[in-house]
Amino acid sequence: MTGSSQRSTECKISFNVNGHATSLQIHAMERLLDVLRHELGLTGTKEGCGEGECGSCSVLMDGLLVNSCLIPALQANGASIVTIEGLTADSSAKGLQQAFLKCGAAQCGICTPGMILAAFHLLSKKPQPSVDEIREGLAGNLCRCTGYMQIVEAVAEVARSGAAR
């Protein structure tokens, strides 16, 4: 992973976002969250805390759940990023999204994109998680509205039916 620089703090990064190859000239220490929201206009990923606690900024990077507020742009060079927009566009989380709607798992919606990413990631690693495993898998995503029960219910329902997609 190398970066060439014009001015010493800038670099060119090439990465894949939601299936699209993308290149940007950007400050190396720009947060991935800001790259997504400001440079690429993908505002579905949210900032709740800026300290990696709330999980609202969760995306998938090379298949792994990460907090994009803690990733400098340069470290995303060469990576494959999936955001809520990507999951929606290719319907890969359709079952999960339906379950969220049905179970009341989204109230104000601000934690929802991150929560769906986290649930999707959990189910991709463990298609049949127990309730405790669901709770643990989502413990890095804070929600203030729902009290979590209906979110856990939604994920459990998807796990039962085996229909994340």
Partner 1 sequence: MKNSNIVGASVPRLEGRDKISGQARYVDDMKLPEMLYGATVRSRIARGTVRKINFGSEINWEEFVIVGPADIPGRNCIALIDDDQPCLADGVVNHPEEPLLLLAHPDRHLLAKAVEAITVEYDSLPAIFNIQESETLAQVIWGVDNTFKTYLIEKGDVDAVWERADYVVEGEYTTGAQEQLYIENNGMVAQFDAEKGVTVWGSLQCPYYIHKALMKLCGLPADKVRVVQMETGGAFGGKEEYPSMIAAHAVLLAIKSGKPVKIIYDRMEDMTATTKRHPSRTRHRTAVSKSGKILGGEIEFTIDGGAYKTLSPVVLSRGAIHAGGAYYWPNVRIRAKAVATNMPPHGAFRGFGAPQSLFALERHMDRIAEAVGISALEIRRQNFLKTGQTTTTEQVVHEEIDLDKLLDRALKLSDYHAKKEKFAADNQQNGGKKGIGIAAFLHGAGFTGSGERFLGSEVGVEVRADGGVRVLVSSTEFGQGTKTVLCQIVAETLGLRYEDVEIAQPDTQEVPNSGPTVASRTVMVVGKLVQSAAIGIRDTLKASGKIADSYSAEEFRAACQAYVEKNGTFRSIAKYEQPEDVIWDEEKYRGSAYAAFAWAVYVAEVTVDPVTYSASVDDFVALQEVGKVLHPTLAKGQIIGGVVQGIGFALYEKVIWENGRMQNGQMTNYIIPTSADLRSIRVHFEELGNVHGAYGAKGIGELPMDGPAPAVVNAIADALGIPFDSVPLLPEDIFDALGDGTAREDVFSSPREPGGR
Partner 2 sequence: MRAQPAEYELVAPGSLPAVLALLAAAPGRWLPIAGGTDVMVQYSAGKLPARKLVSIWNLPELRRIENLADEIQIGAGCTYTDLRECEVINREFGLLSAAAGWTGGIANQNRGTIGGNIVNGSPAADSLPALLVYEAELLLVSVKGERRVHYSSFHTDYRKTQLAPDELIRAICVKKRFSEYYAHARKVGARNAQAISKICLAALGRIAKGVVEDIRLAMGSVATVPLRLSATESVLKGKRIDRALLRLARAAAAAEVRPIDDIRSTARYRAGVTGNLVAEFLERLSAGGTKSE
Pick one of partner 1, partner 2, none as the site partner of residue 109 (Cβ within 5 to 8 A by kind): partner 1
DSSP 3-state of 159:
helix
Helix (H) / strand (E) containing 15: strand 10-17
Residue 28 binds which one of partner 1, partner 2, none, with CB within 5 to 8 A depending on kind? partner 2
**Locus of tokens 């220490």:** 29
Written as one string, the DSSP assignment of 56-116 is TTEEEETTEEEEGGG-BGGGGTT-EEE-HHHHHHTTTTHHHHHHHHHHT--SS-SSHHHHH
Q: Which of 27, 48, 80, 107 touches partner 2 (CB under 8 A)?
A: 27
Shortest gap between Cβ of 40 and partner 1 (angstroms)? 13
Look at residue 81 and give the partner it binds from partner 2, partner 1, none, a contact being a CB closer than 5 to 8 Å depending on partner kind. Answer: none
Q: Binder to partner 1 among 67, 83, 129, 157 (CB under 8 A)?
A: 83
Per CB under 8 A, 112 contacts partner 1: yes
Q: Which is nearer to partner 1, 78 or 109 (CB)?
A: 109
Among 13, 106, 123, 159, which residue interacts with partner 1 (rule: CB under 8 A)?
Answer: 106
Q: If we measure between CA atoms, which residue out of 78, 81, 68, 56 comes closest to residue 2?
A: 78
